[in-house]
Structure 1
Amino acid sequence: MPRLSLLMSAVALALATALPAAAQSLDAQYALSLRGVTGGTIAIRGRTSGGSYSVSAAAKATGLVGSLVKYAFEGSAEGRVSGGRYTSSVYREREDDDGERTGSVTRFRGTTPSSVTFDPPRPPRPYDIDPTAQRGVIDPLTALYAILQPVAPGNACGQRYELFDGRHVSRMSLGAARAASDGTITCTGEYRRLRGYSAEELAERPTVVLTFTYAPIGAGQVQISEIRSSTKLGNAVLRRK
C-alpha cells in the first residue's frame, strides 16, 4: 500500500482556488474502493483562519485489502493562504507499512522546500533530487485539504499544480469543466510523475488519467464528491461518506 502521495496519484488529488479568507473548517471522511470493494479510508480535519491553515489526516487500509496488507498513515501540514493560494510551511508524515514505520518532516520557505528530515534516516538513492532546488511546489496534504473545500462552479477544474512530498515532484492538472443538467461538473485530469522517481517507477506508469466530479452543495457552490482513476486492478474510486 503506497504512501499518501502515491494514494493521491492513484485516486487524484489536486488544488482548488479562490477560497475565502474567512474562518472555515473541514471534517470529512472518504472511502477508497477498487473494483467496487472498499480498500481504504481517509479522514481529514482542517481549519483556515486569519490567513493561516492547519490540517491533519489519517489513512488506512480496510476491508479485504486491510486483511491482506497492513497499512496506516498519519500526516499534518501548516501554512499560509493569500489570495486563494496556499503556501506550505511544514509537512509531517508517518506511515506504518506492514510493520515498517517511517516518517519525515519537510519544511518550506515560500514555494521552495528548505529541508527534509527522515526518521529513521534514509540512505541516498541515485535518483534522489535536491529538495532546495525545487520551485513552485506545495505539499500533498495541503493539496488534499484544498481540493476538498467548496468552490464556486467557475473555479472547478482548469488547474495545474506541482506537489512535493519530501522525495518526489509530481504534477496534477485538471482539464476544462463539463457541466451537466443536474448541476454536477466533471473534468478529466492527469497525474504525472516528474522527478525523484526510479527509472522503473517512471517506466511502469508515468501518468495516471483521472476523472473529477463536483456536486452542488448549496449557496452557489460545488464540492468534490468523487474521483475516479483506472488502475491495473480496475477502477479506483474516492468517494465522500
Structure 2
Amino acid sequence: MRMIPTLALAAMMALPALPQATEQATYALTIRGISAGTLRLSGRVEGGRYSANGTLQSGGLVGILRTLRYDAATQGRVSGDRFTPDTYSERADNNGRKRQGTMEYRAGVPQVKAYDPPRRADEDDVNPATQGGTVDPLTALFATLRDVPPGQECGQSQRIFDGRRATEVALSRPSRQGDSVTCAGEYRRVAGYSAREMAEKRVFPFTLRYDPAPNGMMRVTRVTTDTPYGQARLTRR
C-alpha cells in the first residue's frame, strides 16, 4: 500500500493563482486496472487565505486485503501563486496502526508540534529548521489538483516537507493533443530517507493530464505513474 501516498504526493506540483470559490474533487485510484482506493479533496480560497481537507482511503480488492486511511487538514495564507501554510494536521490508520500529528509554521518555517504515539528520532530525519519555504503535502496537493487557466498547466516545482522527509515535485515538457495537455513530472526523494531507500530509487517519473472543464479552465483528470506493483492511476470522477 505504500504506493498510494507516493502517487498522491506525485500529484503535488505547480501552485497557480486561485479564484475565490469552494472546490471539491474525487479521484479513483487503480493499480494495474484494479480498484485500490479513493482520494477526496475539498478546499476554499478567500480573502488571501485558504483551507483544505483531504482523505485518502483504500478500497476495492486492496481494501479487502489491507485497510489504509489518511485524513489531513491545512490552512494558511495565499498571495498570487504562493501558498504559506499556518497549520497542518494528519491522522492515519494503517491496518490498525494509528497515528496523528500536527505542524505549525512560523515565518514560513515548519514546527513539528505533536505526534501520537510519539515517534522515535531517526538519524535520517530532516531538521524542520532547514525547511523554510516548503509546503505541507496537503497544501501542495490541493493547489495542484485545482482548475487552472489555459497555459498554466505545467512548468513549476514544489518543495514539500511532511514532518520527517523532504521531497520535491517538478513538472516540465507540456504536450498538447487536441484539447488535452499532458505534463511530464518527477517525484524526487531529497532527504530523510535511509541510504538503502535512496540507493533503491530516488526519482519516480509520472504524467499529469489536463482536460477542459465546463468553467473554461483546465482540470486535472488523470495522474499516472509506475510502481513496483504495476501502473497506478488517479482518475477524476
Q: What is the TM-score of this pair, normalised by structure 2? A: 0.95
Q: Which residue of 1 aligns with 2:173?
A: 176
Q: Does 1:101 align with 2:98?
A: yes
Is the CA contact 2:77–2:83 (under 8 Å) kept in the aligned structure 1? Answer: yes
Matched with 2:67 is 70
Which amino acid in the other structure matches residue 63 of structure 1? G
Structure 1 segments unaligned to the other structure (5+ residues)? none
For structure 2, list consecutive stretches of 5 or more residues without a partner in the other structure: none
- Residue 117 (structure 1) aligns with: 114
Distance in 1 (CA, whole Å) between partners of 2:7 and 2:88 is 17
Structure-2 residue corresponding to 1:16 = 15
| CA pair 115-56 structure 1, distance change in 2 beyond 3 A | same
Helix, strand or coil for the counterpart of 2:122? coil
Q: Among residues 187, 190, 197, which one is paired with 2:183 in the alignment?
A: 187
The equivalent of 1:2 in structure 2 is 2
Identity of aligned residues (%): 38
The match for 1:204 is 200
Q: Which amino acid aligns with 2:232?
A: A
Report if the CA contact (8 A) 2:7-2:232 is conserved: no
Helix, strand or coil for the counterpart of 1:127? coil
Match in the other structure for 1:240: 236
- SS of equivalent residue, structure 1 residue 64: helix
Letter aligned with residue 14 of structure 1: M
Secondary structure of the corresponding residue to residue 153 of structure 1: coil
What whole-Å deviation, never above 9, does each CA across 1:50-83 have from its counterpart, x for those lacking one?
1111111111110110111111111100011111
* Distance 1:103-1:116 versus aligned 2 partners, 3 A rule: same
Which residue number in structure 2 is paired with residue 131 of structure 1?
128
| Equivalence for 1:28 | 25
1:211–1:227 CA contact under 8 A, matched in 2? yes
Using the alignment, how far apart are the partners of 1:101 and 1:145 within structure 2?
A: 24
Q: What TM-score does the superposition give when structure 1 sets the normalisation length? A: 0.93
Counterpart Cα distance in 2 of 1:239 and 1:4: 13
Question: How many pairs were matched up?
Answer: 237
Q: Moved runs in structure 1, 4+ residues, more than 2 A?
A: 1-9
Q: Please give the alpha-carbon distance, in whole angstroms, between the structure 2 residues aligned to 1:3 and 1:211.
A: 15
How many Å apart are 1:197 and its aligned residue?
1.2
Query: Which amino acid is 2:78 matched to?
Result: V
Q: CA deviation at 1:107?
A: 1.1
Q: Amino acid of the residue matched to residue 113 of structure 1?
A: P
User: Is 1:90 the equivalent of 2:108?
Assistant: no
